[in-house]
Amino acid sequence: MKRGRSQDAAALIIKGLPLQTRLLAAPQPTLGAMEAVSDLDDLYARMLLSNNQDGWARMLFQKNLARWKNWEPQTVDTMRRLRQAEAGIAECDHRLKQ
């Protein structure tokens, strides 16, 4: 995405969706699994923002917000991810108001 290669990012997102489903199927996913799922949702949300799909992007940022708000135990990294999700939601809300 940062290099302007949104088609490549889209292909990676689609390729990662089955793995995301498998990771979340566990009753209590590990931190590593949750980070992988969160990273994919964050990438997808940013791609949607770049395509002006602000409402859909907000939904993905909201999923990440819920993940990290409820994660125990909280760490510096989980708090960073929570703030990142909040910032994404704020950006979507700002764009939706325009």
CA 11 to chain centre: 16
Residue 38 placed within a domain: yes
Residue 34 placed within a domain: yes
Residue 1 placed within a domain: no
Which helix (H) or strand (E) segment holds residue 65: the answer is: helix 54-69
pTM of the model: 0.85
Domain count, the chain: 1
Residue 84 placed within a domain: yes
- Whether 86 has a pLDDT exceeding 80, the answer reads yes
Range of the domain at 21: 6-97
Residue 30 placed within a domain: yes
Q: For residue 47, which amino acid is it? A: M
Q: pLDDT tens for residues 4-60?
A: 777 788 888 888 888 888 888 899 999 999 999 999 999 999 999 998 999 999 999
User: What b/e readout covers 69-90, taking b as 16+ CB neighbours within 10 angstroms?
Assistant: eebeeeeeebeebbebbbebbe
pLDDT value for 10: 80
Residue 40 placed within a domain: yes
Token duo for residue 34: 């949750």
